[in-house]
């Protein structure tokens, strides 16, 4: 794969708590230039960003972020507002407490509720792999598959670790054929990005890949 092609798999991301509009505008400009899959930004900037990029770039935002313990009703409201504001893709965080309690029925019901709100728009489910056991990860592969969501995603990037090659291999073995995989958090080199794709990832959540591609162009 040509290095520039890596950008097509990237959700170019800016989720810092201190992000201002100038940061989001720059992110959008970079995403359009490098033809990334989307920009992933805070919900409060979705409307402004969509007005700025129009149909030139997909806008993704996060729901229940980063801890996932909002009520389902709050997550559904967040989702519907984001879609009204122009979001094309939604990345939701699951309720990890329910997973630890073994209440996979509630987790699946919540994902279904948000997928129903999304309709044809893409829903990605963040399971925060660094906080789960292998058994819990496998169960979540099954839950996400059954829920009708479009993607399973490793991480928020706000916990103690991000994506690992092992987790992508695990996902590839256990998700259904209609579920895609997003690796996110800590992807720090073009070589790692390519390996995540080789192992089965379909998207990469990162702010660094575009920076690295820019550096290569300027070298």
Catalytic residue among 85, 91, 150, 167: 91
Catalytic residue among 85, 153, 167, 180: 153
* Burial status of residue 64 (CB atoms within 10 A of its CB: 0-12, 13-18, 19 or more): buried
The DSSP code for 40 is: E
**Contacting residues for 57 by C-beta, under 8 A, at least 6 apart:** 28, 31, 32, 36, 38, 39
Active site residue 91: yes
Active site residue 100: no
Query: What distances in angstroms separate CA 68 from CA 5, 97, 121, 199, 215, one per listed residue?
Result: 32, 9, 20, 27, 35
Catalytic residue among 124, 180, 182, 192: 182
Active site residue 150: no
Catalytic residue IDs: 91, 153, 182
């Amino acid at each position: 794969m040509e290095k520039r092609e890596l950008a097509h798999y990237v959700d170019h991301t800016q989720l810092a708590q201190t992000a201002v509009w100038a940061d989001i505008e720059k992110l959008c400009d970079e995403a359009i230039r490098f033809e990334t899959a989307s920009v992933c930004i805070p919900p409060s900037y979705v409307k402004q960003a969509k007005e700025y990029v129009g149909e030139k770039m997909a806008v993704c935002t996060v729901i229940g972020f980063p801890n996932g313990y909002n009520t389902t009703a709050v997550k559904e409201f967040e989702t519907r507002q984001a879609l009204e504001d122009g979001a094309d893709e939604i990345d939701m965080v699951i309720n990890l407490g329910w997973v630890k309690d073994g209440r996979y029925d509630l987790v699946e019901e919540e994902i279904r509720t948000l997928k129903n709100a999304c309709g044809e728009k893409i829903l990605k489910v963040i399971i925060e792999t660094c906080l789960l056991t292998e058994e819990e990860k496998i169960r979540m592969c099954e839950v996400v598959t059954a829920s009708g969501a479009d993607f399973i995603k490793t991480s928020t990037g706000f916990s103690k670790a991000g994506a690992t090659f092992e987790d992508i291999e695990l996902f590839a073995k256990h998700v259904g054929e209609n579920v895609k995989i997003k690796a996110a958090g800590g992807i720090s080199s073009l070589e790692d990005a390519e390996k995540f794709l080789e192992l089965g990832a379909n998207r990469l959540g990162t702010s660094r890949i575009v920076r690295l591609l820019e550096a290569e162009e300027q070298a």
